[in-house]
Structure 1
């Protein structure tokens, strides 16, 4: 093994040459600070179109090639006028609190030299607000009443109400090159998903890099943007950024140890001790920070054979049927009580996991005192299953419906849980959970699925249970519940309420907390606390864990300085020298 690693260490320069061999020659006035090679552990991006993107892999690339509309300051971790990489320099609010006038910078340009203006924001808004795209940004449709282009660098947006979360509501808004999108897509918003331009954009800009090429199954390559207005060093230092596909976490770490990868944004649990030790010895740079994600299992409460939107055109609930097994809250609660987190933590997370109780991090301002994860209680779990009408009448170890609410009489207590293949901790987690739950009388099948397929099933609402990660907003935004658990977000193929959850009291709380006059933090915290408790008790998701994230970079990366507000906040200043 030692010899193999020594041999691989001769390869980084060859790898780098191969990664960039298909690119045009770099001009002498472009950056020369080496190439950043970052692992894409997962599947290929599905699109580089920010209007319809709904997966983390695609969004990672989009964030490098398109500007934000409103931005977050990486130091204060708050929305700030004039934040780095954001188009908005300032904003004014009308007396009634419903109209925001945004003043835009005049120093951002697209890669073809065309200035970035209010028209580019308007094109994004027109497409999303049409309701004809597959965009998951349902909250923009619900909240925005109208907009007006005042001039090239001034845009006003009027909302349906004055509330405490309007700036964070606009976080997904991304300027797009209107002069190109109009030519490519026209007004055929419904056909946008099938357009080849989505994976081969010719014009990007406003960020540190510009799109170069995409090679499916291999990598996405970006080049330094010489016109990036917010470069920390006055110009973009790295000559490019390569998002290289790696098949699994073992391969990822082997390539990092061999010097083939510049950095790793999240070291797998099984490698953390080694990386920390070698980092302390000066072999790598390391940085540890609280995770911005929660690991969860979404439980479909509706009939997965006939997915329906949550609401009709008039806002009335649609009969979505019930999932035969998971439609009963007692079954969902039994799954929670039947999870032995200590066993899961040791077996899948190497003891680094932190249990979570609901859709909130313990460090967020809205986290309520007394909100606790479910304890492991197998007896309580089996009692709930008995009450739900699932008993093992034939003694084969699998419970059947004997007077249950939604399944046919005699139907087994069976469902399929799916997660992304290649993630060793996810695969270990669901193997352990499968054993734990089957001990209670469930018949749980586990499937490890290609990530793109998993996302498609998730949004199509044709699944029983799907386990992935959810990135919580930075800054913390408790109103994010609205885009996941309210019926307005239950849109087949687009919305994030794919579990079809609808609780009237939760809907009421979120509306009140969002619009309370004066936006009193303590009053809002109390309301969100009740909302989190409802979600914990009803369990449309099983919230499993969060934790700390260990980042690591090679020692030849200068200016690598991750912050809690963003690990790539100064990526334009990274200089990668030869090993």
Structure 2
């Protein structure tokens, strides 16, 4: 209770102060909560990290692992023990000091079945978590796990008192980041104010970051041009084209690590049959979808982004990526599927997802699939997605720097985001082997096999890796678009008065 009282009183003091420099950010939809161990929606993650929350490690814009709340670490020769040294002088936004116990409690919280974190698969090989002293945490693993350091970058550290609380952080987040939560106006904005106890001298450069919820793209564009907004961190290709060349405005573009997808519920007919999932892929024309829904700004997606040059296979290796209606029809007949097939498809509330759904609806109709599209608000979509309440869905998914961080939680039987209820013993065995190896070459051989298997018969039809674009007002300095879709340099961004 002491933490809560301090948080409220400190918020009043900060709220009374006038913010001198504010970064006004326009987002299309409000977040579906701000608990870093529970949220999966893009805007939830974008707001929460790294502005409010930090992990033991971090990922830079070049996709390399860097220190975070851990200044350094050692790894035992057998790869089973990791010892982390916690940074000195870090405090939570409620004024309490960060200790190793907070780190340990945060990791236990992610593993807790009661919390049911979608991040649980990232550290499921961690069998021992010990706060050795106030500044040292030791993790013991059941098997070597090469992606652990990258995994920990996505797990925020929160105060130990929230270990068993599944609700408090959703509306009132408490982290160690450069900005602290100030105010949430439903359907209006979320305000984060500079944390004066942040451990890095001179950071943050801003007094406030205000995330405005602007569902209409035209309204966001007009606000950017008029000076109401300083940054549109994720804009669709149509908006990028319209804003290109505007004075006092910069468009930054990179290859997105995230991707758009069509998901299939592998527990319900007819998608419980691999032949049907292959048929869906054969009916899709990804380039046509990219041209129509993304204005050509993207590339056909395999299971891994081409940005991961050390891991990703070229889509030319997947035989189901050549559109063939006759072959798809033959597969459906072989599987005993009677057409037409009535399908309920839920759609993420993003313009690119809506457009992809409409094109896919037409393409899949050629094989006898009659899709009913449900355009849902974000809370309903996330709930249906997590509960497997769909036949198919169209969405977008954030990418990761290591294949295990996507594949294991998504496709392993019982994985923490295996909403498809997909199960394949052969795939599970490959995933277990790949994550336990330490040599990149040996891991790549297995992940090549996994990509070939998932591309055509998995529960996901990967659609596109888009060109990720952001629109930045000229007065904003220090911002660089990140392929992981976050405002990675939020602590050093400045806005000219």
The answer to whether the superposition gives a TM-score over 0.5 is yes
Secondary structure in structure 2 of the residue aligned to 1:454: helix
Listed as ranges, the matches of 1:324-403 within 5 Å are: 324-361=269-306, 363-368=308-313, 371-372=317-318, 374-391=321-338, 399=339
In the superposition, relative to structure 1, how do residues 140 and 277 fare at CA in structure 2: closer, same or farther (>3 Å)? closer
Query: What's 1:320 paired with?
Result: none
Pair 527,460 (structure 1): closer, same or farther in 2 beyond 3 Å: same
1:156 and 1:68 map into 2 onto residues whose CA distance is 15
Write the distance in 1 (CA, Å) between the matches of 2:389 and 2:486. 35
**Alignment match, 1:11:** none
- 1:148 counterpart = 2:160: no
Instruction: Please give the residue correspondences for 1:109-124 in structure 2 after superposition, counting only pairs within 5 Å.
Output: 109-124=91-106
Give the superposition deviation at 1:498: 0.7
- Pick the structure with greater CA Rg: 1
Over 3 Å counting, the alpha-carbon distance change for 1:353 and 1:140 in structure 2 is: closer
| TM-score normalized with structure 2 length | 0.91
1:485-500 alignment, distance < 5 Å: 485-489=411-415, 495-500=416-421
Which residue number in structure 2 is paired with residue 482 of structure 1?
408
Deviation for aligned residue 1:197: 5.3
- Other-structure match for 1:25: 16
Aligned match of 2:468:
549
1:418 counterpart = 2:346: yes
What displacement does 1:333 show? 1.5
Contact kept, 8 Å, 1:236 with 1:572, in 2: the verdict is yes
CA distance in 1 between counterparts of 2:176 and 2:168 reads: 22
Structure-2 change in CA distance of 1:476 and 1:375 (3 Å): same
Q: 1:365 to 1:559 in 2, by over 3 A?
A: same
The answer to whether the 8 A contact 1:66-1:207 is kept is: yes
CA shift for structure 1 position 437: 1.4
CA shift for structure 1 position 353: 2.5
Distance in structure 1 (CA, Å) of the matches to 2:368 and 2:263: 20
Distance 1:561 1:345 in 2: 25
| TM-aligned CA deviation for residue 140 of structure 1 | 4.7
- The secondary structure found in structure 1 opposite 2:397 is strand
Describe the SS at the equivalent of 2:417.
coil
Deviations 1:157-203 (A, max 9, x none): 1011123222223233322123xxx2xx5x7x3xx34x4553134xx
- Shift in Å, 1:285: 1.6
Gaps of 5+ in 1: 1-20, 303-322, 392-398, 400-411, 490-494
* Aligned counterpart in structure 1 of residue 479 of structure 2, from 551, 560, 571: 560
Q: Distance in 1 between matches of 2:347 and 2:189?
A: 23
Any conservation in 2 of the 1:458–1:498 contact (CA below 8 Å)?
A: yes
User: What are the residue-to-residue correspondences of 1:177-576 with 2, within 5 Å?
Assistant: 177-178=159-160, 182=161, 189=164, 192-193=165-166, 195-196=167-168, 198-201=170-173, 204-230=174-200, 234-278=202-246, 282-302=247-267, 323-361=268-306, 363-368=308-313, 371-372=317-318, 374-391=321-338, 399=339, 412-421=340-349, 423-473=350-400, 475-489=401-415, 495-516=416-437, 519-562=438-481, 568-576=487-495
Residue equivalent to 1:165? 147
Q: Distance in 2 between matches of 1:562 and 1:435?
A: 34
Gaps of 5+ in 2: 1-11
Contact 2:283–2:367 under 8 Å retained in 1: yes
Cα separation, 2, equivalents of 1:508 and 1:294: 26
The residue number in structure 2 matching 1:72 is: 59
Q: Distance in 1 between matches of 2:242 and 2:226?
A: 14
Q: How far has the Cα of 1:46 moved from its partner? A: 2.9
- Cα-Cα RMSD: 2.3
3-state SS of paired residue (1:212) = strand
Residues 573 and 125 (structure 1), Cα distance of their counterparts in 2 relative to 1, 3 Å cut: closer
User: Deviation at 1:430?
Assistant: 1.0
Who is 1:56 aligned against?
Answer: 42
Q: Which moves more between the two structures, 128-137 or 92-101? A: 128-137
Cα distance in 2 for partners of 1:57, 1:567 equals 9
String of CA shifts for 1:416-440, please: whole Å, max 9, x gaps: 111123x222222211211221232
Please give the TM-score of this superposition, normalised by the length of structure 1: 0.78
Deviations 1:262-286 (A, max 9, x none): 11112221122232222xxx43122
Supply the distance in 1 between the matched residues of 2:25 and 2:88 (Cα, whole angstroms). 32
- Measure the CA separation in 2 of the matches of 1:564 and 1:464: 30
Aligned length: 483
* Residue 167 to residue 350, structure 1, CA distance change in 2 (3 Å): same
Question: How far is the alpha carbon of 1:219 from its aligned partner?
Answer: 1.1
Deviation at 1:331, TM superposition (A): 1.8
- Contact conserved, 2:346 with 2:394, CA < 8 A, in 1? yes
Q: 1:133 to 1:25 in 2, by over 3 A?
A: same
Which stretch shifts more, 367-376 or 325-334? 367-376
